[in-house]
Amino acid sequence: MTHRERLMRTLRYEPVDRVPDYEFGAWEQTIKRWHEEGLPKEHNGVWGAINSYFHTDDTEYGPGPWTHLGLLPGFEYKVLEEKGDHITIQDGDGATAEMIRPELGASIPRYIRYAIETRADWEKVRDEKLNPDTPGRIPANLDELCKLTYDATYPTGIGCGSLYGWLRNWMGVENISLALYDDPDWIEEMMEHLTMMHLNLFENIAGKCKIDLGTWWEDMCFNKGPLVSPKLFAKLMVPRYKRITDFLRNECGCEFNMLDCDGNIHELVPLWLEGGINVMFPVEAAHTDGYKISDQFGKKVAIRGYFDKRALIAGKEAIDKEFEKLTPLLKRGGFIPHTDHLVPPDVSWENYQYYRQKKCEFIGKE
């Protein structure tokens, strides 16, 4: 069975030789620790180290069509000030933030200003960095890349970006939350611009390729629920998701759309489904009940992730219990297990190797 067949059949709840072997990645500090505990130095990178060392299915992809939907050009990352153990930087989203020097450890930045705080800021970013006609948004060999999708043995995907998550990064949680209340028309204007960018750029692949999976990123939930009320979500976002997912399905045969959102996603799952998004990822076990989603929506929704990363800290017995907990979900189908977020630095290399051994047995990978 090819990688492509395996993924598509899994998402459809059809029989497979084994489910795909994917992982989420690990913190930079985790990889540094693992290098000291036995992971060969040539395997590095937050996203690459695990995949390359264990040769997960994420290493078995090939070229395909893409479009650049985000800021272009992006903001330059630069250090604006150095003071003791702290630095003030401008990040890639244009925000000014103070943080501990990276070499001293990870820290939560203190944001001083965001790229978009006024309508004038938005108009400047829109005109200078969110113009769909900016060169570089589509590859020069797009038609050639599209042709490869028909006979590819690996899954074909297209990045779909974000409607809320990007705006949240450019504005900050507090600012976008206030604007949703004080000036919802402005938020709708920005989301509509992003939607039109999607559709404008996706016109370049319409009828030219076979896309299996659209991939989205939102991160719009905390431990108790969404950062946007379901009512506003339904009004502002669902119709726009649907315009994009309908386009990809009709023009590129795209059957699945996968959305990356942390936190408690229960209230938004039915609305994402309404918008055409039908694969939930990474389903954080601390905040979301994967079995509840499965019971409520059945084969309408597939799940990726949901292995509680905290079990990796606790050790081998906890890892075994976590796989035992997930066994009924695996048997239902439509489930691809892996850690429910980046592996934190308090996970030893020994524990992670044990997890990988047990996971391969769990999914039937030799």
Contact of 334 with 299, CB cutoff 8 Å? yes
Q: pLDDT per residue over 94-114, tens digit each?
A: 999 999 988 777 778 999 999
128 pLDDT higher than 90: yes
Judge if 109 and 167 occupy the same domain.
no
Report pLDDT for 106: 72
Contact of 330 with 296, CB cutoff 8 Å? no
State the average pLDDT for the chain. Answer: 96
Judge if 129 and 13 occupy the same domain.
yes
Q: How many residues does the chain have?
A: 366
Point out the least confidently predicted range of 93-107, 121-135, 260-274, 300-314. 93-107
Percent of the chain with pLDDT over 90: 96
Percent of the chain with pLDDT over 70: 100
Q: pLDDT per residue over 210-227, tens digit each?
A: 999 999 999 999 999 999
What domain count does the chain have? 2
Report pLDDT for 12: 98
| Secondary structure, 3-state, 105-117 | CCCCCEEEECCCC
Report pLDDT for 328: 98
pTM above 0.85, yes or no: yes
Domain that holds residue 69: 3-21+56-74+115-307
Judge if 168 and 179 occupy the same domain.
yes
Report pLDDT for 339: 98
Judge if 61 and 150 occupy the same domain.
yes
Of the candidates 114, 135, 164, which is a domain's last residue? Answer: 114
Point out the least confidently predicted range of 107-111, 163-167, 232-236, 246-250. 107-111
Point out the least confidently predicted range of 10-19, 93-102, 120-129, 256-265. 93-102
Of the candidates 307, 329, 346, which is a domain's last residue? Answer: 307
DSSP 8-state secondary structure symbol assigned to residue 333: S
As a whole number of angstroms, the distance between CA 9 and CA 64 comes to 20
Judge if 106 and 164 occupy the same domain.
no
Judge if 183 and 142 occupy the same domain.
yes
Report pLDDT for 103: 77
Judge if 217 and 297 occupy the same domain.
yes
Q: Which residue has the tokens 């074909």?
A: 156
CATH number of the domain within which 9 lies? 3.20.20.210
Judge if 65 and 104 occupy the same domain.
no
Alpha helices in the chain (DSSP H): 3-11, 28-37, 48-54, 119-129, 142-148, 165-171, 173-182, 184-202, 230-236, 238-252, 269-274, 290-297, 310-314, 316-332, 349-363
**Is 36 within the bounds of a domain?**
no
Judge if 200 and 265 occupy the same domain.
yes
**Is 342 within the bounds of a domain?**
no
Of the candidates 257, 272, 307, which is a domain's last residue? Answer: 307
Report pLDDT for 349: 98
Report pLDDT for 107: 77
Helix%, strand%, coil% for the chain, nearest 5 = 45, 15, 40
Judge if 293 and 179 occupy the same domain.
yes
- How many CB atoms are located within 10 Å of the residue 134 CB? 13
Judge if 10 and 121 occupy the same domain.
yes
254 pLDDT higher than 80: yes
Q: pLDDT per residue over 306-331, tens digit each?
A: 999 999 999 999 999 999 999 999 99
Residue type, 276: G
Q: Which residue has the tokens 């069975």?
A: 1
Report pLDDT for 104: 78
Report pLDDT for 243: 98
- Tell me the CA distances in angstroms from 305 to 135, 258, 272, 273, 284, one per residue in order: 36, 12, 18, 18, 8
**Angle at the Cα of 22 from the Cα atoms of 357 and 247, rounded to 5 degrees:** 165
Rg, C-alpha atoms of the chain? 21
**Is 343 within the bounds of a domain?**
no
Report pLDDT for 210: 98
**Is 158 within the bounds of a domain?**
yes
154 forms bridges with which residues in the sheet?
A: none
Judge if 195 and 90 occupy the same domain.
no
User: Which among 200, 229, 214, 336 has a CA at the least distance from the CA of 276?
Assistant: 214
**Is 142 within the bounds of a domain?**
yes
**Is 366 within the bounds of a domain?**
no
